Amino acid sequence: MSNDHQEDIKQFLSLMENVDERMKGTFQNMHHGYPTETLVRFLKARDWNVQKAHKMLIDCLQWRIQNEIDNILAKPIIPTDLYRAVRDSQLVGLSGYSKEGLPVIAIGVGLSTYDKASVNYYVQSHIQMNEYRDRVVSPMATEKYGRHISTCLKVLDMTGLKLSALNQLKLLTTISTIDDLNYPEKTQTYYIVNAPYIFSACWKAVKPLLQERTKRKIQVLQGCGRDELLKIMDYSSLPHFCRKEGSGSLHHSSNGTIDNCFSLDHTYHQQLYNYIKQQAKHMETSLPIKQGSVHVEFPEPDPEDTEIAETIESEFHRLAEQNGRHLTAKGSSTTLE
């Protein structure tokens, strides 16, 4: 790191000494013993502009306080059947670790429907997975691999992506904005796998809008990406949809054990859900755990995110019109995927 950046960090640390005690408390809960590394993430997100990074962090801390994010891991989604419905329609899971010890987060973009619960439950679930990653998963990896681990890899499965995905664009933009503003620079690389034509067309339109820093993080792999991913992780850590061509997001292994890291029955989700229920018991010793979603204030999307969402929407409409003309010409009833 350059001397200029060392000065930026020093200046940022100085500014943080002046925040009130409540903000210092939530910052401590957020940095998990690594305050400098946390400041560096916010500096990177704002291209090393100290004033902008400081404002970003202050806004993040205020968001955490106002929405009681420090306590969100003590608020389970109940009953279990409702949580299972969320898991079945919001396909996210931890499949393992890279050879360097980074958590590998698998996301079933194409087959997630987000139609089994209210938006608030999906946002609550996403933030809980973020917090569990930062408070439990990353610290365990740090201890196991003997070096500070605060980032992850994400493998995005586009299997089943259809034009109807446009219906989830608003929710996905909300979740993306929450991550961008409050969990910046947490993902080292995004790997896109099983990409159909519709993704390729959108990617071509969206790519020029992305900042260079973001573009460098995204790798579109051929097919299921197995061979490329095996260079950075063992087979056991490969998401199930990367293990063979055409495996798809919803398949289980054939040996009778659950191998789908999206499923509530997977070890990761069982541990996460049990952890949340245990935290709830500690906090609500004399009161029953209440049913109901946590209402988190949704931040205003970044203008860049808005432009990207509008471009995706425009591209989807163009593809739909193109498909409509194709179907009329062919007299066919096939669906563009």
pLDDT digits (tens, 9 = 90+) for 243-302: 875 445 444 443 334 589 999 999 999 999 999 999 998 876 545 556 666 888 877 777
112-157 confidence digits (pLDDT tens): 999 999 999 999 999 999 999 999 999 999 999 999 999 999 999 9
Determine the topology of domain 3-66 in CATH.
Helicase, Ruva Protein; domain 3 (1.10.8)
Strand 103-108 versus strand 187-193 pairing type: unpaired
Residue 6 to residue 8: CA distance in whole angstroms? 5
What percent of the chain has pLDDT above 70? 88
On average, the pLDDT of the chain sits at 87
234: left (phi over 0), alpha (psi -120 to 50) or beta: beta
pLDDT for the residue numbered 180: 93
| Range 313-317 average pLDDT | 79
State residue 22's pLDDT score: 95
- The ranges of the chain annotated as CATH 3.40.525.10 are 73-280
Cis peptide before 79 (omega within 30 of 0): yes
Mean pLDDT of 91-106: 97
pLDDT at 66: 95
CATH of domain 73-280: 3.40.525.10
Q: Please tell me the least confidently modeled range out of 13-27, 174-188, 224-238, 285-299.
A: 285-299
**What CA–CA distance (Å, rounded) separates 292 from 167?**
24
pLDDT at residue 87 in the model? 97
pLDDT at position 203 is 86
Q: Which SS3 state, helix, strand or coil, does residue 321 take?
A: helix
- % of residues, the chain, pLDDT over 90: 66
Q: What is the pLDDT of residue 138?
A: 96
Laid out side by side, the sheet with 92-97 consists of: 92-97, 103-108, 152-157, 187-193, 218-220
Task: Return the pLDDT at 336.
Answer: 38
pLDDT for 327 beyond 60:
no
Q: Which residue has the higher pLDDT, 63 or 166?
A: 63
Q: pLDDT band for position 214 (50/70/90)?
A: confident
Residue 175 buriedness (CB in 10 A; 0-12 / 13-18 / 19+): buried
Question: pLDDT-derived band of residue 47, with 50, 70 and 90 as boundaries?
Answer: very high
The ranges of the chain annotated as CATH 1.10.8 are 3-66
Closest CA to 194 of 253, 294, 287, 111: 111
In angstroms, the CA 234 to CA 248 distance is: 19
pLDDT at 315 over 90: no
| pLDDT value of residue 323 | 66
| Contact assessment for residue 199 and residue 192, using Cβ atoms and an 8 Å cutoff | yes
* pLDDT for residue 253: 43
- When pLDDT is cut at 50, 70 and 90, the band that residue 221 belongs to is very high
Residue 304 has pLDDT above 60, yes or no: yes
- Output the pLDDT for position 162: 84
